[in-house]
C-alpha cells in the first residue's frame, strides 16, 4: 500500500505542478484560445505521462473523483480508496507549495491566477455546478470504460484519458478554470485564500456528484456487458 500511496502522491503532485503551473506562468486569459489550449494540454499531457509511469503501480487515479467512482464500481475497497484520496491531497499540496515558492521567489506571472485556484469565471454558481458535474461525469465515465478489464484497447487508456481531459479543459476553463478533481482544487484554494477558499466547496461537491453519476451509469453498462 505504501507504493500506491507514494505513486498517487507523486502523480497528483505532477498534475498540479504542471497543470496549474501552465496557468500561472503563461500570459493570456480565459477568453484567449492560445492560453486555454496551453493549460488544457498541460493538464492532459500530465495525465498521459503519469498514466504510463505509475499506472502499473496504483492505476494512476490522481483524482478523488476517479477513486470514488472506482470504489462505487466495486474495483477497490473503502479503506484503499481512503488511502488513495489522502495521497492525492498530500500530493496536490506539495505541487501547490512548489508553485507558491516559485511565485514568492519573484517569477513574473502573466496568467490570470497566481495559484491555479478555480473560480466562477462566468455564469455564477448554477453554471459552475452544472459544468463541474457534467464534465466530471464525462471524464470519469471515460476512465471507467477505457480501464475496464474486457476493453481490448486498454493499453491506450492513458492516452484516451489524457486527451479527454484536454477536451474537458478546452470547454470548461472559461467557465470555472476546470476542476473535475477535488484534490486539484483544494490545495490551490488553500494557498490563494479569500474568495477561492470560500468557493472551494463547489469544486469538491460537484465533481464528486459527477463521479457518482458516472459510476451509476457504468454499472448499467457493465450489467449489459455481462448479459
Contact 188, 117 (CB under 8 A): yes
Q: How many Cα atoms occupy the beta-carbon half-sphere of 50 within 13 Å?
A: 28
In the chain, what's the furthest Cα-to-Cα distance? 60
Q: Is 173 exposed, middle or buried (0-12, 13-18, 19+ CB in 10 A)?
A: buried
Alpha helices in 26-181 (DSSP H): 33-58, 64-72, 78-104, 124-146, 157-176
CATH number at residue 34: 1.20.1080.10
Q: Which of 3, 18, 2 is nearest to 169 (CA)?
A: 18
Q: For the beta carbon of residue 179, count every other beta carbon within 10 angstroms.
A: 28
pLDDT given at position 225: 60
Q: Which residues of the chain fall below pLDDT 50?
A: none
Residue 93's domain comprises 2-226
Contact 154, 181 (CB under 8 A): no
pLDDT given at position 105: 72
pLDDT given at position 53: 96
What stretch of H or E contains 107? none
What does the pLDDT look like over 102-128, one tens digit per residue? 988 766 555 556 788 998 866 789 999
pLDDT given at position 155: 82
What does the pLDDT look like over 126-139, one tens digit per residue? 999 999 999 999 99
Provide the grid cell at 206: 460537484
The count of domains in the chain is 1
Amino acid at each position: 500500500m505504501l507504493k500506491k500511496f507514494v505513486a498517487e502522491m507523486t502523480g497528483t503532485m505532477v498534475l498540479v505542478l504542471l497543470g496549474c503551473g501552465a496557468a500561472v506562468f503563461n500570459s493570456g486569459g480565459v477568453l484567449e484560445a492560445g492560453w486555454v489550449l496551453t493549460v488544457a494540454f498541460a493538464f492532459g499531457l500530465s495525465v498521459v505521462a503519469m498514466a504510463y509511469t505509475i499506472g502499473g503501480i496504483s492505476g494512476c487515479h490522481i483524482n478523488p473523483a476517479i477513486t470514488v467512482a472506482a470504489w462505487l464500481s466495486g474495483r477497490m475497497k473503502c479503506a484503499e480508496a481512503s488511502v488513495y484520496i489522502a495521497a492525492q491531497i498530500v500530493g496536490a499540496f506539495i505541487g501547490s507549495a512548489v508553485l507558491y515558492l516559485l511565485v514568492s521567489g519573484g517569477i513574473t506571472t502573466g496568467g490570470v491566477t497566481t495559484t491555479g485556484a478555480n473560480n466562477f469565471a462566468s455564469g455564477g454558481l448554477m453554471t459552475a455546478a452544472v459544468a463541474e458535474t457534467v464534465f466530471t461525469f464525462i471524464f470519469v465515465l471515460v476512465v471507467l470504460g477505457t480501464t475496464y478489464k474486457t476493453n481490448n484497447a486498454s493499453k491506450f487508456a492513458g492516452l484516451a484519458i489524457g486527451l479527454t481531459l484536454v477536451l474537458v479543459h478546452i470547454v470548461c476553463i472559461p467557465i470555472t478554470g476546470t476542476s473535475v478533481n477535488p484534490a486539484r482544487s483544494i490545495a490551490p484554494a488553500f494557498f490563494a485564500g479569500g474568495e477561492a477558499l470560500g468557493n472551494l466547496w463547489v469544486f469538491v461537491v460537484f465533481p464528486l456528484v459527477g463521479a457518482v453519476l458516472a459510476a451509476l451509469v457504468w454499472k448499467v453498462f457493465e450489467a449489459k456487458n455481462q448479459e
